[in-house]
Structure 1
Amino acid sequence: MQEDNTNSLKVMVIDDSKTIRRTAETLLQREGYDVVTAVDGFEALSKIAETNPDIIFIDIMMPRLDGYQTCALIKNSQQYQGVPIIMLSSKDGLFDRAKGRIVGSDEYLTKPFSKDELVAAIRMHVA
């Protein structure tokens, strides 16, 4: 049952910062998206199977499983390799962007991000 595109879209936000998770969740819910959050890569991997997100935002610097490792694991999975992944980082370095591309991320946003940047990324990557 697909409703209007925005309402049925599931967005996952993976970040070890409660503030970032809450901010992204609030901004995206106001736009009508269904938001799922995870504290780290391990929690995210179990939640992905349950929720089947349409797009995933991943923080790079996280304990246990960082954003690059999490992205690579998702992209290596037959079932989820088509899900767009947007890396989130406080560092705006060329090396970080390149590494993100290597593990299969679709875009790279620098923190602090704006609501417009999040929504633009979703619109660009989810038809």
Structure 2
Amino acid sequence: MIVDDSPEILEALQLIFELEDYDVVVADSGHAIIQKVYLHQPDIILLDIMLGDFDGRDICREIKDDDMIKKIPIIMISSTHGINTFLQLKCKPDGYMAKPFNVAELTALVASKLA
């Protein structure tokens, strides 16, 4: 599952991971994301930090606090650099990737979290 409010990034990430043979579910906002996670049961979530209507860190924390879905790995993505320590304290994601990201590094990070 990919959650990002930028249509360009959402489309690019969807294409990248579909070319890697992943089944991709996308969402362009944080609205009702927890219900979408329950509905689709993704193996991993790529979650933008600064969504237009929500803070991705709050969504991350909500998922990690829910016993039914907390084991789903979450990789936070953001154009804000140098906040990895803050992320660990606030929502405990399973990974972090700064935008602009290196496609090979991002796909390797996702693969490592799914292994």
The range that moved more, 110-119 or 33-42, is 110-119
As a proportion of its length, which structure holds more strand? 1
Q: Which residue of 2 aligns with 1:52?
A: 41
2: CA distance between counterparts of 1:46 and 1:63?
18
2: CA distance between counterparts of 1:114 and 1:24?
11
- TM-score of the two chains, using structure 2 as the length reference: 0.92
Closer, same or farther in 2 for the Cα pair 1:117/1:19, shift >3 Å? Answer: same
Q: What letter is aligned with 2:58?
A: Q
The correspondence for 1:38, drawn from 27, 33, 40, is 27
- What's the CA shift for 1:79? 1.0
Q: What letter is aligned with 1:58?
A: L
CA RMSD, 1 decimal: 1.1
Q: Identical aligned pairs, as a percentage?
A: 36
The ranges of structure 1 where at least 4 consecutive aligned residues each deviate by more than 6 angstroms after the TM superposition are: none
- TM-score of the two chains, using structure 1 as the length reference: 0.84
1: CA distance between counterparts of 2:48 and 2:68?
22
- What's the CA shift for 1:28? 0.3
Q: How many residue pairs end up in the alignment?
A: 114
| CA deviation vs aligned residue, 1:44-103 (integer Å, no higher than 9, x gap) | 22211110001101111112221100100110110111111111011111xx21221121
The correspondence for 2:51, drawn from 62, 78, 85, is 62
Q: Give the unaligned 5+ runs of structure 1.
A: 1-11
